[in-house]
Structure 1
Amino acid sequence: MSVFAVEYVYAADSEAVRDEHRPTHRAFLTGLTAETGDVALIAAGPYTDGSGALLMFSAPEEAVLAATLKNDPFAVHGTISALRITAWAPVTGELKHHA
């Protein structure tokens, strides 16, 4: 498994739609565990300026993660204007055991 940092950039004027779908978005993310499939959420949270979010996942490869994220309610309802997936190698700190 590899670790990936995912950056969501929220679409302009999508706050109301995000508010509406936030509960299902969070349920989707917390449902991604090693026990339920290949993709597991490590950590996630919005930027404090409201522009987007940073999410960390464990997944076998980027393509599997990208396919999974297409089912995120935020993606389904068009609240993400840009998505960036980057492989990441945590070598120190609390997340290093995921590498």
Structure 2
Amino acid sequence: MSLYAVTYTYVDDAAALDEIRPRHREFLGGLAAEGIILLSGPTQGDGPFDALILLRAGSADDAAAALAHDPFQQAGLVSEITVSSWNAVLGAWRDGALAGQL
């Protein structure tokens, strides 16, 4: 398994995002419980609403497929998704993430 960084850019519809967020978090929580998602959360800034999801998958296509049934995606609330292979070189969590121990 490899590590992938997925970024979501959300549409500018705070009410819809607030409405669907509990189902979105439940879905991502299930992937975290399975050991697929390592970290997930919104980024903070002045730009558009976005989030970063760090996950473990066999390929970029597998990473995208793991998130395809996210309620935010299903409701059309994600305007852009990028999937990037991530080569974790340094850090306290590196070995555990690569070994599936996080």
Q: Fold match, TM over 0.5?
A: yes
Q: What whole-Å deviation, never above 9, does each CA across 1:25-63 have from its counterpart, x for those lacking one?
A: 111111014x74xx7000011012362101100011111
1:67 alignment counterpart: 65
User: Aligned AA for 2:11?
Assistant: A
- Per the normalisation by structure 2, the TM-score is 0.84
- Structure 1 SS opposite 2:88: coil
For structure 1, which runs of at least 5 residues remain unmatched after alignment? none
Q: How does 1:17-96 map to 2 (within 5 A)?
A: 17-33=16-32, 36=34, 40-49=36-45, 51-96=49-94
Question: How far has the Cα of 1:94 moved from its partner?
Answer: 2.9
Separation in structure 2 between the aligned mates of residue 53 and residue 8 of structure 1, nearest angstrom: 5
Question: How far has the Cα of 1:6 moved from its partner?
Answer: 0.5
- Structure 1 SS opposite 2:31: coil
State the aligned residue count.
95
User: Aligned AA for 2:94?
Assistant: K
For structure 2, which runs of at least 5 residues remain unmatched after alignment? none
RMSD: 1.6
- The structure with the greater share of residues assigned to helix is 2
Q: What whole-Å deviation, never above 9, does each CA across 1:42-95 have from its counterpart, x for those lacking one?
A: 001101236210110001111112112110000000111000000001121133
